Amino acid sequence: MISQKTSGEPVAAHLRQIVGNVGIVQVLLLLLAGGILWLVVDYARMLLLRRKMPPGPFPYPIIGNTFQLPDKKPWIYFETLAKTYNSPIITFWIGRNPTIWVNDAPTASDLLDKRAATFSSRPHMVVFGDLAFGQNSLVTMYYGDRFRVHRKLSHMGFGLQRVREYQGLQSDENKVVLKDLLTDGENYVSHFERYAASVVSIIGYGRRIRNTTDPIITEVIALMQRAAEHNVPGKSFPMLLETFPILAKFPRWAPWMRRFRQPRAKNFFFALAEEAANDGDKDCYSKKLFEQGPKYNLSEMELSTLSGNLFGAGSDTSSSTLITFVLACCAFPEALPKAWEELDRVVGPHRSPDFDDEANLVYVKAFVKEVFRWRSVAIIGGQPHAPIQDEIYKGWLIPKNTWVQGNVWAIHRNEREFPDPDRFDPERYLKDGANSRPFPNERGYMTFGWGRRVCAGQALAEQGTFISIARMLWAFKIRKALDKSGKEIPVDIFDYTDGLNIRPNPFKCRIAPRGEEIRKTIEREGKQAEENLSIYNGETKYRITTYRAEE
């Protein structure tokens, strides 16, 4: 009996193993069948939805059209798709989700301006939403009560009515730039960055940026430029997480998640704002935010983003616009003599232009508009919009929460509104200009976005750009650089960076005063401006490379 029981145990164990294996196989087969069924149903959903939406390339299951994206400058690709499908509005699938790309001005106006009540929200964003500041930042916030609070607080700092108070400091900082360019024109980019960052630093924190090595420039602007480089639709990390959002659920030690640590900018901008708010001598935006904080129950993260958004609204973007201005001067010198004639007639050499001259500087104003149009910095209109409900436009469905992006590159290069679009031509903004055409808005460009999501810093940027360009046109001859043999070095009007906010890649130029009297005026006004601005001189103990004050 004992020997029979012993000999039967291996047989029983073997039978149990077979039964167990059959169970595992059945479970695996069920999972496989379930996965295939889900895939079929989900793909059927995509195809049914595609039939109702604007035209676009045929999507694949799960990946959609993501891997059809070019490696660089996708806005050019979407412009090409609009022409291919003969439609100003197209559908492109990022993974399992459709995105809408708007490629002409009338359509952008119809949807994003005229239907702003519907199209003022944001879609769900993984990279610059869930893994960044989420619903604590006006930039990525869904439309609703909290958005209105943040928008109100932003207008308190740099809204249309408020920015007129900043004309004096913008004017003085710009005079300092002219003085710096007299002796160091080769480093014009650094001087533009210092100027733009200093203006917003004075407004936000009551502290001036006096030199080009200040950490605000060397660290903050560099950080923003790196973020902009990644913030465009793409088929590589980090934007690949928009196609496969499940990958964002992995722990931070996963290789693709290591870059998504707690944003150090949160700690840095809060520290700057708190430092300014506690300085009894400073009347600045940060102080007002801390005063309003208890009323609106603002968190540290919200205080950080509200103060930090100033740099996004007015530093990197403004300096990039001025670099584009220099490129335009080099590439299209024929546009300059009319500006010089107007400035000599209205202003003369013994003072620089000021804001009171604007009404009489008709051609210069057209010149500024053309700078904004010709190569807009926010080339895809900033962050995407999303409708808060299903919308029908010309028979096409735009589902609720769909990613809707305005392709400013295509909008500003449409030959219907802008004949010969790559030519820099200020006269297109003059009433009797040969290339003047109707446009859906009075400004004649869509550089700063649309509707209730228009850039909060638009008025500040337009005001500062006008006085900067008017002054530089008055002050300097800006020309192509010369090589060793004395020949002009060509510039490439298409050689721009690839990020969300574009700027020309580095190029050399010549910047020289237009005359001796003008040179003397630049020096005299620059010295006076530095004295005027000295009340804002100071230092901060904080650095973005650390989370806390330097001990």
Mean pLDDT (the chain, rounded): 92
C-alpha span between 105 and 82 (Å, rounded): 13
Indicate whether 35 and 147 sit together in one domain: no
Does residue 392 sit in helix, strand or coil? strand
What does the radius of gyration of the chain's CA atoms come to, in whole angstroms? Answer: 28
131 vs 425 pLDDT, higher one: 425
Q: Final residue of a domain: which of 32, 52, 72?
A: 52
What is the Cα–Cα distance from 307 to 287, expressed in whole angstroms?
A: 10
Residues 47 and 147 in one domain: no
pLDDT in the model for residue 4: 46
Q: Using alpha carbons only, give the angle 487, 490, 495 rounded to the nearest 5 degrees.
A: 160
CA angle 304, 305, 310 (to 5 degrees): 105
Amino acid in position 422: D
Residue 164 three-state SS: helix
Contact between 198 and 173 under an 8 Å Cβ cutoff? The reply is yes
Residue 332 corresponds to which tokens in the numbers above?
């299209």
Q: Say how far apart CA 121 and CA 101 lie, in whole Å.
A: 16
| Residue pair 320/375 in contact by the 8 Å Cβ criterion | no
For the beta sheet containing 403-406, the strands, ordered from the edge strand earlier in sequence to the opposite edge, are 89-94, 97-102, 403-406
175-211 in b/e form (b: 16+ CB < 10 A) is: bbbbbbbbeebeebbbbbbbbbbbbbbbbbbbbbbbe
| pLDDT value for 18 | 57
Q: Residue 337: inside a domain, yes or no?
A: yes
CATH code for position 165:
1.10.630.10
Cβ-count burial of 423 within 10 angstroms (0-12 exposed, 13-18 middle, 19+ buried)? middle
Rounded to a whole number, what is the distance in angstroms from the first to the last CA of the chain?
83
Q: How far apart are CA 195 and CA 269, in angstroms?
A: 19
Number of domains in the chain: 2
Q: Looking at the structure, do residues 269 and 166 belong to the same domain, yes or no?
A: yes
* Position 426 confidence tier, pLDDT thresholds 50, 70, 90: very high
From 380, 377, 365, 367, select the one nearest 328 (Cα to Cα). 367
**Residue 132 lies inside a defined structural domain of this protein:** no
Q: Is residue 399 part of a domain?
A: no
- Report how far residue 138's alpha carbon sits from residue 147's, in angstroms, rounded to the nearest whole number: 6
Q: Which residues are annotated as a binding site?
A: 455
Q: Which residue has the higher pLDDT, 382 or 18?
A: 382
Indicate whether 48 and 197 sit together in one domain: no
In a domain, residue 402? The reply is: no
Domain membership of residue 246 (yes or no) is yes
Q: What is the pLDDT of residue 427?
A: 96
Question: By three-state DSSP, how is residue 60 classified?
Answer: strand
Same domain, 293 and 179: yes
403-406/476-480 β-pairing: unpaired
Are residues 218 and 334 both part of a single domain?
Answer: yes
Segment 388-398 shows an average pLDDT of: 98
Q: What is the 3-state secondary structure (H, E, C) of 120-163?
A: CECCCCHHHHHCCCHHHCCCCCCCCHHHHHHHHHHHHHHCCCCH
Mean pLDDT of 281-305: 93
Residue (of 478, 536, 494, 501) closest to 185 by Cα position: 478
Higher pLDDT, 14 or 344: 344
Per-residue confidence band for 310, with pLDDT thresholds at 50, 70 and 90: confident
Kindly state whether residues 172 and 43 are assigned to the same domain: no
98 in any annotated domain:
no
pLDDT confidence tier of residue 262, bands split at 50, 70 and 90? low
Task: Supply the angle between the helices 458-475 and 516-533 in degrees, to the nearest 10.
Answer: 140
Buried b (16+ CB within 10 A) or exposed e, 118-128: bbbbbbebbbb
pLDDT 10s digits, 82-109 = 999 999 999 999 999 999 999 999 999 9
Determine the distance from the C-alpha atom of residue 459 to the mean position of all C-alpha atoms in its chain, rounded to a whole number: 16
Q: In the structure, what pLDDT confidence band is assigned to residue 493 with cuts at 50, 70 and 90?
A: very high
CA distance 133 to 537: 31
pLDDT at res. 11: 62
Question: Which two tokens mark 280?
Answer: 């009894």
Question: Tens of pLDDT along 33-55?
Answer: 988 999 999 999 999 999 999 99
Give me the pLDDT at residue 13, please. 67
Which of 12, 30, 52 marks a domain boundary? 52
Look at the alpha carbons of 216, 221, 226, 232 in this order and tell me if their dihedral is positive or negative.
positive
477-491 average pLDDT score: 97
By the 8 A CB rule, do 472 and 142 touch? no
Q: What whole-number distance in Å separates Cα of residue 142 and Cα of residue 130?
A: 12
Helix 458-475 and helix 316-331, axial crossing angle in degrees, nearest 10: 40
Alpha carbons 363 and 474: distance in angstroms, whole number: 12
User: What residue type is assigned to position 338 of the chain?
Assistant: K
pLDDT of residue 159 exceeding 50: yes
User: Does a structural domain hold residue 65?
Assistant: no
* In a shared domain, residues 196 and 314: yes
Feature table: binding site for heme: 455
Residue 542: is its pLDDT beyond 70?
yes
148 lies in the same domain as 48: no
509-513 and 476-480: which strand pairing? Answer: antiparallel
User: Quick check: bond before 238 cis, omega within 30?
Assistant: yes
Q: Where is the domain boundary, 52, 68, 87?
A: 52
Whether 35 is covered by a domain: the verdict is yes
Stated as kind and residue range, the H or E segment containing 354 is none
For 177-218, what is each residue's pLDDT tens digit? 999 999 999 999 999 999 999 999 999 999 999 998 887 787
| Residue 261: Cβ within 10 Å count | 9
User: For residues 163, 166, 168 and 173, what is the CA-based torsion angle, rounded to 10 degrees?
Assistant: -120
Domain that holds residue 526: 142-378+435-536
